[in-house]
Amino acid sequence: QVLAGNTPTPNEIPAGPPGQLYQAIAGTSMSSPHTAGASALIKAAHPDWTPGQIKSAQMTSSVQDVVNADGSPAGIWDRGAGSLRVDRAVKPTVTFDVTGAAYTASVADPLHRVDLNLPSIKVDPLPGAIQVTRTLTNVSGKAQTFTASATADAGLGITVSPNRFRVPAGGSATITVVLDGLKATDGDTLTGQITLKPSAGGASPVVL
């Protein structure tokens, strides 16, 4: 539920009761403008950042400790990349970048779309096991030693290599991720999460 301005003369019941200038509403119609506003703040703080970096800053610095309306822990299908925190997104630990040209090229090359340098990984279907790479840039202003850890549903193995690596301030590093679904049952939809914990104090963990 997001408190936001809304028309006082709705033309349908889902739009809320009439006569109110502000209402609590849920859905992409609310999350989209709030994310756009957050992006504008990040762009103002980092004018030279690309759209890919801005998007990754919001995703990788998000908060994962999210609960559903009934109080149960939120899964990946409930929370997406996580709960956006603008104060963290303005000063993320790392960014991932992917160009518009790479997006365009991926339309004609769906087999290798998994290698787009996004701060997330989706493989559908998973052909037993697959190896992908991601390149990150340290924007924390400090040298960082990252320690990688991963959690996943039963039947999915996630291996990050190297699982501990150092990146100087402003430097970049490439990690390899192996997704192993050889023990999964046919038809399973499996999810997982990778966390890169930085060594320097004050830096947010990086979640993929």
The per-residue pLDDT for range 171-205, each reduced to its tens digit, is 999 999 999 998 888 777 888 999 999 998 788 89
Q: What is the model's pLDDT at position 150?
A: 95
Average pLDDT on 66-94 reads 85
Average pLDDT on 118-126 reads 90
pLDDT at 38 over 80: yes
Asked if 22 contacts 6 with a C-beta cutoff of 8 angstroms, the reply is: yes
Q: Which two tokens stand for residue 51?
A: 């759209």
Per-residue burial over 138-171, b if 16 or more Cβ lie within 10 Å, else e, is bbbeeebebebebebeeebbbebeeeebebeeee
Give me the sign of the Cα torsion angle 92, 134, 84, 34: positive
The percent helix, strand, coil of the chain (3-state, each to 5) is 25, 30, 45
CA atoms within 13 A on the CB side of 140: 26
Highest mean pLDDT out of 25-39, 41-55, 63-77? 41-55
Q: What is the model's pLDDT at position 187?
A: 74
pLDDT at 107 over 70: yes
Contacts of range 28-36, beta carbons closer than 8 Å, 24 or more positions apart: 30/2, 30/4, 31/2, 33/4, 34/2, 34/4, 34/84, 35/84
pLDDT at 3 over 90: no
CA distance 100 to 116: 11
Asked if 38 contacts 49 with a C-beta cutoff of 8 angstroms, the reply is: no
Q: What is the model's pLDDT at position 75?
A: 79
pTM listed for this prediction: 0.83
* Sole residue written with tokens 């490439």: 174
Mean pLDDT of the chain: 89
Q: What is the model's pLDDT at position 1?
A: 66
Q: What is the model's pLDDT at position 126?
A: 86
Q: How far is CA 85 from the centre of its chain?
A: 12
* Bridging pattern class, strands 129-138 and 94-95: antiparallel
pLDDT at 53 over 70: yes
Distance (Å) of CA 4 to CA 11, 18, 21, 29: 18, 15, 8, 11
Q: What is the model's pLDDT at position 98?
A: 93
pLDDT at 95 over 90: yes
Q: What is the model's pLDDT at position 65?
A: 76
